[in-house]
């Protein structure tokens, strides 16, 4: 069964174009919460942010425009 929750109920990890940086952003607002030098650090920060917001989903975007989801552990 496909997840039908709105994408806004997620924290996103997004690569910064032409740099080695990664951003953590909230849902549709795309407001940058933090920037990190590694994807792993950004994923950790996204987990903390998701728990603080009460959000279960973390969407990680790679440099090839693919996505994968993580679940924020509670």
Q: Domain containing 53: what range? A: 7-66
Q: Assign 34 a pLDDT band (cuts: 50, 70, 90).
A: very high
Mean pLDDT taken over the chain = 87
8 A C-beta contact, residue 60 and residue 45: no
Average pLDDT over residues 66-72: 89
Sign (positive or negative) of CA dihedral 2, 68, 10, 53? positive
Say if 36 falls within a structural domain: yes
8 A C-beta contact, residue 34 and residue 41: no
Say if 31 falls within a structural domain: yes
Q: Assign 67 a pLDDT band (cuts: 50, 70, 90).
A: very high
For residue 9, CA distances in Å to 20, 37, 63 come to: 26, 25, 22
How many domains does one find in the chain? 1
Say if 1 falls within a structural domain: no
Tokens, residue 56 = 């279960």
pLDDT at position 29: 77
pLDDT at position 43: 96
Tokens, residue 44 = 């950790």
């Amino acid at each position: 069964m496909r997840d039908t929750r709105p994408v806004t109920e997620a924290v996103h990890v997004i690569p910064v174009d032409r740099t080695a940086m990664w951003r953590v952003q909230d849902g549709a607002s795309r407001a940058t919460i933090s920037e990190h030098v590694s994807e792993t650090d950004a994923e950790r920060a996204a987990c903390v942010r998701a728990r603080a917001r009460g959000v279960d989903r973390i969407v990680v975007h790679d440099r090839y425009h693919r996505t994968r989801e993580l679940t924020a552990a509670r």
